[in-house]
Structure 1
Amino acid sequence: MMRIAILCSGGDAPGMNACLRAVVRTASTMGVEVVGVRHGYQGLLDGDFYESGDGTGVMSARSVSHIIQHGGTILRTGRCDEFRTASGVRKAADTLVANNIDGLVVIGGDGSLRGAIELGKVWSGRIVGCPGTIDNDLAGTDYTIGFLTAVATAVEAIDKLRDTAESHERLFLVEVMGRGSGYLALFTALASGAEFACIPETPTHSAQMVSDISVLKKRGKASIIVVVAEGDDDGGIEVLRGELEAEGCPYPLRSVKLGHVQRGGSPTPADRILASEAGDLAARALIDGKSGVMAGRLAGQMQLTPFAEAIAGTKTVPLEQIQLLKRMSV
């Protein structure tokens, strides 16, 4: 019988459980065993398998019942410094061989897929990835698993902040995650009715911002929301706040970091469906002999994208949405 392993790696993202569920159930219907690996790549190094009760780590269809609606991951996740070394990768490969694993599904983001590439160089088994990250920075899929839920979480928080901002006639700087990608900040800004989004892909000019903010003040704007990606080129939310104050911002300023709250919570229906489709395709692809590819949905169609293309860094925020935000902020 074919045996495949599955793990979640890197930062958690809402929908990882839904993806895990799909892999296990699709593989089970095709007569393939799925072994759960706990704590990401660290679990491969430690031989830390899912607690199945019989010591095998095998996950049944029933073991993933009623997890589709839960955030986080029942397999746990994490980052592993040892796996970044050649000896660590070799050790992970040895664990897979020792446990008669034929294929591996990796649910994670950019770093997780890079790790999969390195593992594929020393292990003869097949590896397929699923895009689990709230950053939405992987090519080969319109959205990554967890992204839309993270947007919804951030928007809900900003809706509440807007009430306070309006009551006190303030400007709120709201920092969201996204060290190298502005997708989360831009989509959050659009959906929450924010006036500005500061993202890594475009330069942030505080003097021009204050000029634009002053125009909005004269037009009768009672409050301003600025969504800032944590990787914004200007240096972060506190740096930007200081610059805006120095330039004479006409509103009292407050800053809020949403932080890790964006990773948690029940996944939205859209994320549950995407995760289920990606997990299903990943399992079928492995069983069909595919390897070195990521399952994603592009232009409405499920497809497989080579790892190298998925992490190539070619996915850029859409210019038309940047322009849309400008037109809405009047």
Structure 2
Amino acid sequence: MNKIAVLTSGGDAPGMNAAIRAVVRTALHNGLKVMGVERGYAGLLNNELKPMNRSSVSDIIQRGGTILRTARCLEFKQEEYRKKAADILKKNGVDALVVIGGDGSFMGAKLLSKLGVKTIGLPGTIDNDLPYTDYTIGFDTALNTALDAINKLRDTSTSHERVSVVEIMGRNCGDLALYASVAGGAESVLLPEKEYDKDELCGLIKSGKASGKMHNLVLVAEGIGGSEELAKYIESRTGIETRATILGHIQRGGSPTACDRVLASKLGFRAVELLLEGKTSRVVGIRDNKIIDDDIDDALAMKRKFDEKLYEISKIISY
């Protein structure tokens, strides 16, 4: 192996830059050449590859987003475009590709590997929705961003004795909202993994008010949605002023936490190790606080396990 490439794909996540840095410097330390692919798979199809050296990744570990930028690429679902991508890598002398992203990015890496491209995937997504790993790069930072917003909303909600409905990212995975509910002391959390009853929720809010609660904090995962409508419904049924706040893409940005920086560095280092060992079609992650790697097909086929225990804890300690 002489040269590898690295790209970030799909939604950006804090810590991607730390992963890029680890991949580049670990590869250079082992005598490999490195190229960065700009704008993900879309950039790969446009031959947007550039050489990277140690200084290319200086002063980026503390920055959110991705210096390589990212983009969606629907064309990559078609085999003719994947063949084009494989040819571009070959013409640039690239022997292997490290892909940092979520399940869609991993699917692209999986399909490229079928065309003879050596690939390793790193889990970069704030949703924490990849079943094979306990945590993904960016989850901890996004969680702390949400928590900071919740703390501030609690102040104003208490001052006005309101109900605050806060929508947190997580389309099909409620981890961000669930963890934020426990860390932020929310009274209720609505998740795509669990059914809920609006009238039961309103009953809890009314009983809390009757027992002297100054405010109520209701967290809603993005996959549930409808926060504005829910706020109106709560106010109409309880008579308590209710406001909705959608945190949105603010959760994607910001300087990554120490946890995300260390995790990204460990995973990036291991990705290069695997390539040097002759491995391919693998994804790297963390399980039981140990860095692991799985076959990419197996990882994509895994069913996600919802944390029932943490959900039970959130309900018991919320009131």
The TM-score, its normalising length taken from structure 1, stands at: 0.94
| Secondary structure of 2:21's aligned partner | helix
Q: 1:10 touches 1:109 (CA, 8 Å); kept in 2?
A: yes
Q: Which moved more, 1:312-321 or 1:263-272?
A: 312-321
Instruction: Give distance in 1, aligned partners of 2:132 and 2:245.
Output: 33
List runs of 5+ in structure 1 lacking aligned partners. Answer: 50-56
CA shift at 1:203, angstroms? Answer: 0.7
Partner of 1:62: 55
User: Which segments of structure 1 move beyond 4 Å, counting only runs of 4 or more?
Assistant: none
> 1:29-50 CA deviation, whole Å, 9 max, x = no partner?
111111100000011100012x
SS in 1 for 2:154: helix
CA distance in 2, matches of 1:261, 1:283: 31
For 1:1-20, list aligned pairs within 5 A.
2-20=2-20
Equivalent runs, 1:144-223 vs 2, <5 Å:
144-223=136-215
Gaps of 5+ in 2: none
CA contact (8 A) 1:137 1:313 kept: no
Task: Name the count of aligned residue pairs.
Answer: 319
Aligned partner of residue 6 in structure 1, secondary structure: strand
AA aligned to 1:97 is K
Q: Is the 8 A contact 2:232 2:242 kept in 1?
A: no
- 1:72 counterpart residue number: 65
2:234 paired residue number: 244
Confirm whether residue 103 of structure 1 aligns to residue 93 of structure 2.
no
Residue 24 of structure 1 aligns to a residue whose secondary structure is helix
Deviation larger for 189-198 or 271-280:
189-198
Q: Secondary structure at the match of 2:51?
A: coil
**CA shift for structure 1 position 166:** 0.3
Note the C-alpha offset of 1:242.
4.0
Question: 1:312/1:218 Cα in 2 relative to 1: closer, same or farther (>3 Å)?
Answer: farther
Inter-partner Cα distance in structure 2 for 1:177 and 1:312? 23
In structure 2, C-alpha distance between the alignment counterparts of 1:312 and 1:11, rounded to whole Å: 21
Alpha-carbon displacement from aligned partner over 1:224-257 (angstroms, at most 9, x marks no partner): 111111102xx531343344345x1242110011
* Bigger Cα displacement from structure 2, 287-296 vs 160-169: 287-296
2:23 matched residue in structure 1: 23
Question: Is 1:308 matched with 2:297?
Answer: yes
Q: In the alignment, is the contact (CA less than 8 A) between 2:187 and 2:218 conserved in 1?
A: yes
Which TM-score applies when normalising by structure 2? 0.97
Q: Distance in 1 between matches of 2:218 and 2:252?
A: 20
